[in-house]
Amino acid sequence: MLNENQIFWKNLERIREQMLLSHTDFAASMGMRSADYMASKLKEKFLSVDAVYELGEKMNFHFSDLLTSDFVLNYDPNDKRPLGNRYNSATFSHTRALINILNYVELTKGTRAKINLLRKFQLSEEFIKQENNKANYLLITDVTKYLTTQLGFTQKDFLAIGRRMPFLSHSAVLKSKLSEHKAATEILECFIYECTTLFDTNCTYRISHMNSDEAVVEVVPNKHVVDALRLNMIDFGNEEVCLTKMGNISSTMYFRYGRNARVKKISSIHQGSESNKYLFELSPFKKVDAIPDAASSAGIFYHNIRMPHGDDLIH
């Protein structure tokens, strides 16, 4: 088994070959003298943090990846695709979801954490900032899992990411559609059947049950997406993405009432079900809808009613 020094130099050599550089030019790209570089290479000695960091800056990868045996650099001088092979097929997702995640990371963990996340997945800011650029669902699931394992994100973080939907760039379109309806049941129906395709083409959303107090929202992965990614249904997505979807659905009511709905997951494809099902509470909004001119009274009303403790999302 290779030790860390050997893995480090094996990865460096792979990078040099992919860049089509001589040892001298490769050393220069890290701000090093060729002689110093070759001496370190011969002894398989770690290079300075500054040298490796400079290389990571130029090639857009996280320097800690050089110590992992499965590191693959997404760089080909003849390939103009912005993503690595894992994320370049079955590209049914837009980068707007990643923009939201990155903004939340920067807001809660700082700019350096966002930059490190970009480098970890070898993503350029130029590519990410175009919200209609395409990637596949695996990029979202890999990024969200990384946020859990490396940045310590909790369930509340992913719910909060989903709840940011009313404040994103495409929210004006959603607000325009949803504001045409007055009752909470109508707003939820409009969102599920007319709006979800605006931001998620990987899944189909439907309402399997609804009355004036509650609704059951069902999210089913689209078979052509699952097949294109060569996944089993049970392996599609992850708990983090599921929580983000719960946040999205919860925020539906924010457009009219200025607050989120309570949502609880009642089944999951990761536990063998054919779909994810969420219980959506409508009863608090029924009280508001009973007030004349509820739209203008909603804010005042919510300052005077007592909501159940912890009226965010429940899981």
The better pLDDT of the pair 170, 16 is held by 16
The predicted-structure confidence for 273-283, as pLDDT tens digits, reads as follows: 889 999 999 99
Instruction: Please check the confidence at residue 293 and state whether its pLDDT lies above 70.
Output: no
Comparing 57-71, 75-89, 93-107, 268-282, which segment has the lowest mean pLDDT? 75-89
Rounded average pLDDT over 251-266: 93
For every residue of 83-110, which 3-state class applies, written as one string? Answer: CCHHHHCCCCEECHHHHHHHHHHHHHHC
Instruction: Please check the confidence at residue 41 and state whether its pLDDT lies above 70.
Output: yes
Residue with tokens 């690595």: 84
Average predicted confidence (pLDDT) for the chain:
83
| Angstrom distance (rounded) from CA 193 to CA 183 | 16
Q: Map residue 223 onto helix, strand or coil.
A: helix
pLDDT of residue 307: 32
Instruction: Please check the confidence at residue 299 and state whether its pLDDT lies above 80.
Output: no
Rounded average pLDDT over 246-262: 93
| Angstrom distance (rounded) from CA 278 to CA 265 | 4
pLDDT of residue 96: 84
How confident is residue 284, by pLDDT bands cut at 50, 70 and 90? very high
The predicted-structure confidence for 131-177, as pLDDT tens digits, reads as follows: 778 889 999 999 999 999 989 999 999 999 999 988 886 788 888 88
How confident is residue 128, by pLDDT bands cut at 50, 70 and 90? confident
Q: Map residue 204 onto helix, strand or coil.
A: strand
How confident is residue 245, by pLDDT bands cut at 50, 70 and 90? very high
Per-residue DSSP letter, 11: H
| Angstrom distance (rounded) from CA 214 to CA 188 | 11
Round to the nearest angstrom and report the end-to-end CA distance of the chain. 43
How confident is residue 304, by pLDDT bands cut at 50, 70 and 90? very low
AA letter at 183: A
Instruction: Please check the confidence at residue 191 and state whether its pLDDT lies above 50.
Output: yes
| Angstrom distance (rounded) from CA 274 to CA 243 | 17
Instruction: Please check the confidence at residue 300 and state whether its pLDDT lies above 80.
Output: no
Rounded average pLDDT over 96-105: 90
How confident is residue 75, by pLDDT bands cut at 50, 70 and 90? low
Q: How far is CA 294 from CA 52, 183, 240, 258, 304, in A?
A: 60, 10, 35, 12, 14
Instruction: Please check the confidence at residue 190 and state whether its pLDDT lies above 70.
Output: yes
